[in-house]
Amino acid sequence: MRLIKNPEERRNEILDAAEILFVTKGYTKATVMDILQACSIAKGTFYYYFQSKEEVMNAIVMRFILNGEASARRVVSDPNLNAHDKIFRIIMAQNQPDDNKLGLIEQLHHVQNVEMHQKSLVETVLRLSPILAEVVEQGIEEGVFHTPNPKESIEFLLVSSQFLLDQGIFQWEEDQLLKKVEAFAHITERVLGAEQGSFAYVTRLYFPHQA
């Protein structure tokens, strides 16, 4: 009953099976045995490809984040967009991932998956901040932003929005969240030294049904 497969293929089989299991049962409840059964492999095979269950989770989250990074890069490399447009589109792209990824996000927001969740937020910040910093520098040249620390300012804004506005970490009521998003637009303008009101559209992105 020995089936030898292309290592790449096998690795992806394990990842795919694990992703489904993590999303449906949750990371903690999904056992390594579940994964083995789903791919019909032996334990040794699993540990031949991955050092631990956690490493599998890492790889899944990475696949997801690299997607977001790629789409952000596409926006930045468009020579016809100004800094404000680019930021708008990058935010849009991050908030509208493929439909089949929504389950993973929802899974990340469940209490049982704090580890996976935090890792994904951290990775998002690390990968998006250099890209967005580039856009801020473009904005400084265009004269619409004014800050001596583009990179640090973006990191600060990314971290605060990613963590504070995440309903898996802080559970805010809808009206509290609306206030925070409005304040965030305001804060962004101050931190980046942008014109007052220039980020007001962010509220409409997060709360399309409002005003």
Partner DNA sequence: GTCTATAGTAGGATAGAC
Partner DNA sequence: GTCTATCCTACTATAGAC
Q: Which residue has the tokens 């031949």?
A: 48
Which window, 44-52, 93-101, 119-127, 166-174, contacts DNA (CB under 7 A)?
44-52
Please give the C-alpha separations between residue 198 and each of 5, 69, 147, 182, in angstroms, as whole numbers: 54, 25, 16, 12
Which window, 9-17, 64-72, 80-88, 184-192, contacts a copy of itself (CB under 8 A)?
184-192
Q: Say how far apart CA 6 and CA 57 lie, in whole Å.
A: 21
Q: Say how far apart CA 162 and CA 190 lie, in whole Å.
A: 18
Is residue 136 within the footprint of a copy of itself (CB under 8 A)? no
Q: Which does 115 bind (CB under 5 to 8 A by kind): a copy of itself, DNA, none?
A: a copy of itself
**Which residue from 24, 37, 42, 111 is in contact with DNA, where contact means CB under 7 A?**
42
In contact, 56 and 18? CB cutoff 8 Å: yes
Give the count of beta carbons closer than 10 Å to the beta carbon of residue 34. Answer: 17
Residues in contact with a copy of itself by CB under 8 A are 114-115, 118-119, 122, 125-126, 148-149, 152-153, 155-157, 159-160, 163-164, 169-170, 179-180, 182-184, 186-187, 190-191, 193
